[in-house]
Each structure stands twice: as structure tokens, then as C-alpha cells.
Amino acid sequence: AYLDRIGEVDGDINAFLHVDREATLAQARAVDERRAAGEELGPLAGVPIAHKDVFTTEDMPTTAASKILEGWLPPYDATVTARLREAGLVILGKTNMDEFAMGSSTENSAYGVTRNPWDTSRIPGGSSGGSSAAVAAFEAPLATGTDTGGSIRQPAAVCGLVGAKPTYGSSSRYGLIAFASSLDTPGPFARDVLDAALLHEAFSGHDPRDSTSIDAPVPPVVDAARRADVAGLRIGVVKQFAGEGYQPGVLQRFQESVELLESLGAKVVEVSCPSFDTALAAYYLIAPSEASSNLARFDAMRYGLRVGDDGTRSAEEVMALTRAQGFGPEVKRRIILGTYALSSGYYDAYYGSAQQVRTLIKRDFEAAFANVDVLVSPTTPTTAFPLGERSDDPMAMYLADLCTIPTNLAGNAALSVPCGLAPEDGLPVGLQIMAPALADDRTYRVGAAVE
């Protein structure tokens, strides 16, 4: 049924970069056989899933939506994809995204834009916009994404879905094509909180193949989603995430969610996190710096595209030609920004200061969590904006991540849950719930109470 649905609507939505009907059906039959052979499979066995095209899959091309990886077939599975196969989930295909996960609208894909199923003239969010659009358009019940600066929570919010950014290090980066390694976090998309929790639990946990993986038990997110009560919980409203630049309908639905939580027995207080105002600036130094280093591996020799290798050019010329043609404009912008920020003479002023700001943000969270169990805010300042509206204005685009980025810099857990439609445009609004590292279960508990 999901394959049929993809056939019907994906011409309009463009959520998928790769679908192979026969391969999917063969996977489904293999799960039936495992079950028939008496294998104990988990609660998601047989459930179809779409993977963001940034996770390697050994039987499907993986492009990170870049021309530079066109035609590359990975020799191995990412831990996230491998664990979900093991759990019996059936892969429907690979989803569109901003190239190398750089963006907030999926307009930076080398393979065309993805459209928001709520209004196809609008963006589905990004960078995991193919995944959010696929679930919102009923093309998949579940999807994976990655959240480096909001790329799961923001597309979930603007597509009316649940999306979670797990604690950094609790979901494996092995086989995830790297953007900013100290921030990249795989996470789930689903239509409700319990489904998201089941998926979260299925791929999380320690992985010796990821050097930053945390060796700790997965927080009890499924139990928390079932519990769904907030009585006695202390909830902090982040003062900094309101005011100028926020759409009135977004603030209205946010305010109503806070009142709902209060009526359910939570204690609500206002909390000030002054360093959050500088998070965006710090992120746009740290993330491009790490990207400039990570993307050095696309050298025309190791993967995918190779341009001008006709025997007349040096390796260096082939490399330059390939990178010039293989990377899109946003990726080049990040590489240039990052290289500049890391160069000697500028390193302390830019990268060094950004790291100091990162520590201040972490301290703001620590101070807040000394008094409250979770923090809440709108997930995004506005609902889904029209396609093209911000594509020529990087600063306006970056503002979509205003509320999500502090969590990435601190490495905490956060979740976005739908909290109604904005009255002025009828589009979904997301409530963001933030918790300390390894307290992901709290975000699910509050999310389930709100939905």
C-alpha cells in the first residue's frame, strides 16, 4: 500500500530519491520467513520505513543529495540502517534532503526540491525534508533523519509530525555521511509520540564503531510515551524564544500548550537563558568548520563523481574540477566559511570564540535544569514558508533554526510535537520540549501528554 501511495503522490511531493519496489517486497517476504522460522522479532517488524539519504545502505545508492556522490553504492550499512533491518523494518527507499544536510528547506538538494504535503507551494523543512514529507504524505509510516542544528525537529514541526533529536552520542553516527561530527545526531520521525519512541528505541544504544557513542542504557522512551503524564513536573518556558520574528499564530498555539500542561498538573515557570541569543552565530562557525574538514574526503578519487580525468590533467586539476561541479552553492559557502574560520590567525577569533560560546550555552542549560525538569519553546519561529522565499537569503534561512540550535550545541535531548495549526495560515505548529542529556524519556512523556 505504501509503495502504491508513493507511486500516486511522489511525482508531486518528490520525497524519495530512490525506490525499488521489488527489493522492498523481497525484504518484506524475508521478514515473513524469519517470523515463520520462529525468530522473535520486535514490535516494529514488518513496518515500512524511509531512510534519509545520508545513511549508508549496502543495497541502495546513497548520495546525501549531492552530485558528488552520484552513482555511489556504499559497501556497508550504517549502524542505524543495520539495526533497523535486524529489527525487521522494511526499507521503502531513500529520501531527499538538503545537500550534505546543509539547509532548512530541502531546496539545496541537487535532485530537485521536496514539497510540503500540507501546501505544495511551501517547504517541507530541512534538511530532512524528504523524510518529513514522506511521513506527512502517508508515503511511509516512519522515517529516519539527522539533526545537526534542527534538521529533524524543524521539518517535523512544519509537516505536523513528531520528530526527536536524541542525546548526542546515544544514536550511532557510524555510516552516517558526516556534516558536523560534534553535532550530527540520528533520530526518528513518526505521526505520533509512541511510534517515534518505538523507532528511537530500535536504533539507539552504544556502538563501539562510533568513537563518541555513549556507553549507557537507552532512556526508557517507550515507557515514557505510554505514561504521558506531567503531574508535578517542573516546566521552564525559555524567555528568549518569543517576540520579534515570531509568527503570532505560532506564539498563540505555544501559549495554549503551556496552559494545557499547567492544567494537567505541571508547574510552569519562566526561565532565562541569555546565551541562547548567540547560539546561531556560534553554530554557523562550528558547523561549517567541521564540514570543511569532513568534506575534504570528496577528492574525486575515493567516491562517485570524477570530472576531467582524460589523461591530460593532474590529480589536483581533476580534484578541483570535480569539487567545482560536484558541490552545490550552499556546500561551497560552508566549506569557504569553515576554512576561513579555521585558518591560522583567525582560528582563535572565530572557532575559538564559538567554542567558548558553546560552553556558555551548556551552562545556561545546566543552570535551568537545576530548577526545572524540561524546557519548552516553539520549535520554529514561523510555519512552513513558501518555496523560494529564503533561497537567496542565507541569513533568513538560518533563522529557521533559532530555537533548535542551542540543544545541538549542548548535546541535550529534544523533541518536537504538533500543537495545532496556526490560525492565520492553517499550517502545523510544533512545540519543542528540551531535556538534559540522557533524559530523553522526559521529552516523550511531555510530548505524549500534549498530543
Q: Which residues are catalytic?
A: 52, 127, 151
Q: CA separation (Å) from 52 to 134, 144, 300?
A: 10, 6, 24
Is residue 151 part of the contact set for ligand GLN (CB under 6 A)?
Answer: yes
Please tell me whether residue 102 binds ligand GLN under the rule CB under 6 A: yes
Please choose, out of 81-89, 145-153, 229-237, 366-374, the segment that lies near ligand GLN by the rule CB under 6 A.
Answer: 145-153
Nearer to ligand GLN among residue 60 and residue 101 (C-beta): 101
Q: Which three cell numbers stand for residue 97?
A: 534532503
- Least distance between ligand GLN and beta carbon 334 (Å): 8
Closest CB to ligand GLN among residues 44, 387? 387
Which one-letter amino acid corresponds to residue 411?
G
- Give min distance, CB of 234 to ligand GLN, in A: 28
Nearer to ligand GLN, 405 or 449 (CB): 405
Q: Which stretch binds ligand GLN (CB under 6 A): 134-142, 149-157, 193-201, 207-215?
A: 149-157
Name the residue nearer to ligand GLN (CB basis): 2 or 276: 276
389 Cα distance to chain centroid: 22
> Segment contacting ligand GLN (CB under 6 A): 74-82, 115-123, 142-150, 368-376?
142-150
CB of 287 to ligand GLN, least distance (A): 5
298, 323 Cβ separation under 8 angstroms: yes
- Residue (179 or 298) nearer to ligand GLN, CB: 179
Stretch that binds ligand GLN, among 3-11, 100-108, 194-202, 320-328 (CB under 6 A): 100-108
Binding-residue total with ligand GLN (CB under 6 A): 14
CB atoms within 10 A of CB 256: 15
Q: What residue has cell string 545526531?
A: 185
Question: 3-class DSSP state for residue 278?
Answer: helix
Burial class (CB in 10 A: 0-12, 13-18, 19+), 119: middle
**Rounded to whole angstroms, what are the CA distances from 449 to 236, 258, 262, 428?**
16, 11, 11, 18
Rounded distance between C-alpha atoms, residue 439 and residue 172, angstroms: 17
**Residue 107 lies near ligand GLN (rule: CB under 6 A):** no
| 233 close to 268: Cβ distance less than 8 angstroms | no
From residue 110 to residue 139, what is the string marking binding to ligand GLN with x (rule CB under 6 A)?
-----------------x------------
Strand-pair category, 374-378 with 234-238: parallel
- The interface mask with ligand GLN, positions 36-75, x = CB under 6 A, is ----------------------------------------
Q: Which of residues 88, 124, 150, 378 is near ligand GLN by CB under 6 A? A: 150
- The answer to whether 157 and 429 are in contact (CB under 8 A) is yes
Beta-carbon contacts of residue 301 (< 8 Å; ≥ 6 apart): 315, 319
What's the first-to-final CA gap in the chain, in angstroms?
A: 26
Say how far apart CA 400 and CA 372 lie, in whole Å.
26
Closest of 122, 137, 129, 138 to residue 156, by C-alpha:
129
Return the residues of window 7-26 that contact ligand GLN according to CB under 6 A.
Answer: none
The contact mask relative to ligand GLN for 384-403 (x = CB under 6 A, - = no) is -----------------x--
364 near ligand GLN (CB under 6 A) = no
Tally of CB atoms within 10 A around 58: 15
Sign of the CA dihedral with 306 first, then 309, 315, and 318 last: negative
Residue 260 contacts residue 226 (beta carbons within 8 Å): no
Interacting residues with ligand GLN between 400 and 419 (CB under 6 A): 401
Q: Considering the complex, state which of residue 66 and residue 104 has its C-beta at the smaller distance from ligand GLN.
A: 104
Contacts of residue 9, Cβ cutoff 8 Å, sequence gap at least 6: 117, 137, 138, 139
List the beta bridge partners of residue 238. Answer: 271
275 binds ligand GLN (CB under 6 A): no
Instruction: Give the number of residues written for the chain.
Output: 451
Choosing from 139, 147, 195, 441, the residue that interacts with ligand GLN (CB under 6 A) is 147
Q: Which is nearer to ligand GLN, 88 or 169 (CB)?
A: 169
Q: Indicate whether 159 belongs to the interface with ligand GLN (CB under 6 A).
A: no
Question: What is the x/- site pattern for ligand GLN, positions 282-321, by CB under 6 A?
Answer: -----x----------------------------------
Residue 150 or 381 having the CB closest to ligand GLN: 150
Vertex 153 angle, CA 296 and 381, to 5°: 105
Binding site for ligand GLN (CB under 6 A): 101-104, 127, 146-151, 179, 287, 401
